[in-house]
Each structure stands twice: as C-alpha cells, then as structure tokens.
C-alpha cells in the first residue's frame, strides 16, 4: 500500500517539473477602474501546495456595506450549500442552523451612528480555535486560511467556545444535499473557508464576487503590491476584537 503512495508522490514531482508556473491566464477582475480585486498571477500553479508566501485576507468597507443588502450571505449559501443553498437542515431550529457569514447591524449607543458589516471567520494568524482543538482538526493552511478537517473532527465544539467571532457552526442533523466541492455533515463543526476551493483555482471568494457595492476586497496581505495591501497601507482599518491580538486576515475600514 505504501508503494502506491510513493507512486503518487513521484507523479506529483514529475508533474511539478512539467508545470510552467504562469500557466494561468491573466484574467484579473476589476470592480472599478484601476482597482483590481485579485491578480491571477498570485494564484498558485495547479498541483503545487499552498505556501506561506501568500496570506489571503479581506478588507471590508463598512461605509459601503448597504443596509438591507444580503448578497454576500446569499452568495455564500449558494456556493457552499448551506441555508438557502441546500434543502438540508429542515429539522434544526433557527438557533441550530449553520451560518458561515452573517450581516451584523452595529449601533453606537452614544453617537447613534449605525452601520452594517458582514462577519465571517476572521482567519486569524493565531486562531484560538486551532489552539483548543484536541485532535488538530481545526487547522490553518500555509496561506493563512483557517479550516476544519472534518475527517478528524470529533464534534466537541471547544473551538466554538473559543472563537471570539461566533464564526463557527455545529451541524445538528444528517445532511444529504451538499455541494460536491464543499463537504458538510452531521456532528462536525464548520465555518467559512474563504472559498479555498475557488482561491486554489485563481478565483475570488463568492461573497466578494457578489458584492455590488464594492465593500469587499480580497487579496494577498503578504504582497505589498497587491491592491488590498496598498489600500490597507493608505487608509485606517481595524480588526474585530483587536484587544485579543489575533492578527486577523479580515480587516474592516470605517468602523
């Protein structure tokens, strides 16, 4: 059996040799003139592991996030097969249903200023979920994306206790209507994957793609030339619960 494994590895290596790094087309997306959301050159070549050269992140402009708009949440549901994107979870109560991303309405009680923002997994550099997970099912990819390895998740929910953002959901019943690229199942914990399956193919997360108000920007925080980095360098931005010093990959501006 180990022989088979070795063959797989060798095949990978030879494949790597054959690969030309810049095989992906340079189809960069743009929402507004001059602002590229994502540069395809940043996408890793097929067949190669993700590395810590990249650190994927989001910048969310709460001043652009429109009241009553739920596009990012809807897009995530469709893309990842939860909520309205699936026929499952009919037995679960509302407070038991999974929510990978949600619109939060915020109000300052003193100044009465109000704004909206989407909240999802913040993809911390030092994720508390990963610290507390007994089996190592809560893990972080080299490129900074936090995920749950459902194969070794035992459903203890300690990560949900530890997450300051309530980013995680527990699946309370058996499912059957999953998306092919996004496994989900009873008894495991799940959360936003920053659409890793799309990012690996050079696409941007579904929520960012769906936002019509230009409130979400996706990109590589490690590349100082990337649009998200240049933007972050020039405008003030905040982390949620920055007192915890988790160094989140998702940043907010306008808070």
Task: Return the residues of window 35-94 that contact other proteins according to CB under 8 A.
Answer: 44, 46-50, 91-93
Residue 205: closest CA among 9, 29, 5, 44: 29
Query: Using alpha carbons only, how large is the chain's radius of gyration in Å?
Result: 19
Residues in the chain: 255
Does 24 sit near other proteins (CB under 8 A)?
A: no
Does 200 sit near other proteins (CB under 8 A)?
A: yes
Task: Provide, rounded to whole angstroms, the least separation between the CB of residue 91 and other proteins.
Answer: 5
Does 224 sit near other proteins (CB under 8 A)?
A: no
Residue 35 vs 115, nearer CB to other proteins: 115
Does 241 sit near other proteins (CB under 8 A)?
A: yes
Does 186 sit near other proteins (CB under 8 A)?
A: yes
Question: E strands along 14-160, which residues?
Answer: 29-32, 35-38, 56-61, 102-107, 114-119, 138-140, 146-148
Binders of other proteins among 130-169, rule CB under 8 A? Answer: 130-137, 139, 141-143, 147, 149-158, 160-166, 168-169
Q: How many angstroms separate the CA atoms of 16 and 158, rounded?
A: 39
Residue 237: closest CA among 137, 66, 127, 122: 122
Residue 39 vs 193, nearer CB to other proteins: 193
Does 195 sit near other proteins (CB under 8 A)?
A: no
**CA dist 33 to 29, 36, 58, 207, Å?**
10, 8, 19, 20
Among 10, 15, 21, 63, binds other proteins (CB under 8 A): 15
């Amino acid at each position: 059996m180990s022989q088979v494994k070795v063959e797989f590895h060798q095949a990978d290596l030879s494949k790597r040799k054959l690969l030309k790094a810049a095989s992906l087309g340079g189809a960069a997306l743009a929402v507004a003139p001059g602002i590229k959301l994502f540069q395809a050159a940043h996408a890793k070549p097929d067949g190669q592991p993700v590395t810590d050269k990249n650190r994927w992140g989001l910048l969310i402009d709460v001043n652009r996030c429109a009241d009553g708009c739920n596009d990012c949440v809807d897009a995530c549901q469709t893309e990842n097969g939860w909520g309205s994107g699936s026929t499952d979870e009919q037995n679960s109560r509302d407070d038991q249903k999974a929510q990978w991303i949600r619109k939060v309405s915020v109000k300052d009680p003193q100044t009465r200023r109000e704004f909206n923002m989407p909240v999802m997994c913040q993809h911390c550099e030092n994720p508390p979920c990963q610290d507390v997970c007994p089996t190592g099912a809560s893990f972080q990819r080299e490129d900074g994306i936090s995920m749950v390895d459902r194969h070794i998740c035992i459903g203890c929910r300690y990560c949900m206790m530890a997450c300051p953002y309530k980013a995680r959901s527990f699946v309370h019943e058996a499912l059957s209507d999953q998306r092919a690229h996004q496994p989900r199942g009873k008894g495991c914990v799940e959360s936003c994957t920053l659409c890793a399956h799309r990012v690996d193919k050079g696409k941007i997360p579904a929520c960012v793609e769906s936002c019509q108000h230009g409130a979400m920007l996706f990109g590589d925080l490690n590349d100082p030339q990337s649009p998200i980095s240049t933007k972050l360098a020039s405008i003030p931005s905040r982390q949620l619960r920055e007192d915890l010093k988790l160094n989140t990959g998702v940043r907010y501006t306008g808070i």
